[in-house]
């Protein structure tokens, strides 16, 4: 794949959704991108409408469609950003593999089989996948790892609880971001770690091996995570919160730029790679 010398041709998958609209809007405002495609499902009531207008911006001259550009067409995108639904991701992956399009997947709630499909696709195209595209969230994940590594053997034990808040419309719980926090923390705590999702009734004393998850669904909260590190006599709370959805959209576009401008080869990448925080 040749390095990009002009604006990055961009297709947004899930363009009529809440997040897709923000990706469209921010992509249109960024001179590094040229929107060439806006894809949504066949039953969307936004089909045929201008993607820019649907996103609340000036008309972009690109209609929302359920059909992908033909492979080899001059408008075949250099990058695809997927902010759709789990049931739509498989078709997006298949298209990008066929077209050779670098892919950023920001959809959450993927099954193990779909995650394997992403790994398989990464054998032929570059893919960025992360449970959160937020730069602040990914930095907080690294901080959480560091806190856990420093305190895991503290006298009296370390208790870790993860609270996440999202809007009432979110379909999966706990969030993929909360689960990723837990995965990274468990990697520091060791193999005996168990994951407990909520508590009810006479549960008995908390064990030292637990990571607790608590999912809160309220109003239009775009996303907030609090990691509580509890010790005897003191605690640390690490909180990262979005005030609007643009942090996720801008993070996804930053990942697309990174794939193209860095001329990344086929492979599966994370936002840690995009931010230069991956460990060798």
Q: Which of 93, 138, 87 is nearest to 258 (CA)?
A: 138
**DSSP symbol at 111:** -
Q: Is 134 left (phi over 0), alpha (psi -120 to 50) or beta?
A: beta
Please tell me which residue in 166, 214, 225, 264 is annotated as part of the active site. 166
Structural contact between residues 94 and 76, judged by C-beta atoms closer than 8 angstroms: no
Provide the edge-to-edge strand list for the sheet that holds 194-197.
194-197, 210-217, 159-166, 224-231, 234-241
Provide the edge-to-edge strand list for the sheet that holds 33-39.
64-65, 33-39, 8-13, 79-82, 103-105, 126-129, 267-269
Q: From residue 130, how far is each of 101, 135, 151 by CA, in Å? A: 18, 11, 26
What CA–CA distance (Å, rounded) separates 52 from 28? Answer: 8
End-to-end Cα spacing for the chain: 24
What CA–CA distance (Å, rounded) separates 256 from 261? Answer: 8
**Other C-beta atoms lying within 10 Å of the C-beta of residue 205:** 5
Please tell me which residue in 41, 49, 152, 170 is annotated as part of the active site. 170
Question: Is 49 a catalytic site residue?
Answer: no
Beta strand 210-217 with 234-241 is unpaired
Question: Is 261 a catalytic site residue?
Answer: no
Q: Which stretch of DSSP H or E encloses residue 255?
A: helix 246-261
The residues annotated with a catalytic role in the active site are: 166, 170
């Amino acid at each position: 794949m040749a390095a990009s010398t002009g604006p990055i041709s961009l297709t947004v998958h899930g363009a009529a959704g809440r997040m897709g609209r923000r990706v469209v809007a921010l992509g249109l405002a960024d001179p590094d991108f040229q929107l060439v495609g806006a894809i949504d499902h066949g039953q969307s009531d936004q089909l045929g409408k201008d993607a820019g207008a649907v996103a609340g911006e000036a008309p972009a001259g690109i209609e929302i469609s359920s059909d992908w550009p033909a492979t080899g067409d001059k408008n075949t995108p250099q990058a695809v950003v997927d902010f759709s639904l789990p049931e739509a991701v498989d078709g997006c992956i298949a298209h990008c593999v066929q077209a050779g399009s670098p892919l950023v997947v920001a959809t959450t709630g993927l099954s193990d089989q779909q995650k394997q499909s992403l790994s398989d696709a990464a054998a032929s195209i570059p893919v960025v996948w992360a449970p959160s595209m937020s730069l602040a969230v990914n930095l907080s994940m690294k901080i959480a790892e560091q806190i856990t590594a420093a305190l895991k053997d503290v006298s009296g034990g370390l208790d870790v609880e993860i609270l996440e808040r999202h809007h009432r419309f979110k379909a999966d719980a706990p969030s993929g971001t909360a689960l990723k926090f837990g995965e990274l923390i468990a990697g520091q705590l060791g193999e005996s770690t168990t994951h407990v999702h909520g508590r009810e009734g006479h549960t008995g004393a908390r064990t030292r091996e637990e990571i607790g998850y608590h999912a809160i669904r309220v109003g239009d909260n775009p996303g907030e995570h609090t990691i509580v590190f509890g010790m005897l006599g003191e605690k640390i709370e690490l909180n990262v919160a979005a005030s609007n959805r643009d942090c996720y959209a801008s993070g996804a576009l930053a990942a697309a730029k990174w794939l193209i401008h860095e001329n990344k080869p086929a492979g599966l990448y994370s936002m840690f790679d995009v931010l230069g925080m991956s460990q060798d």
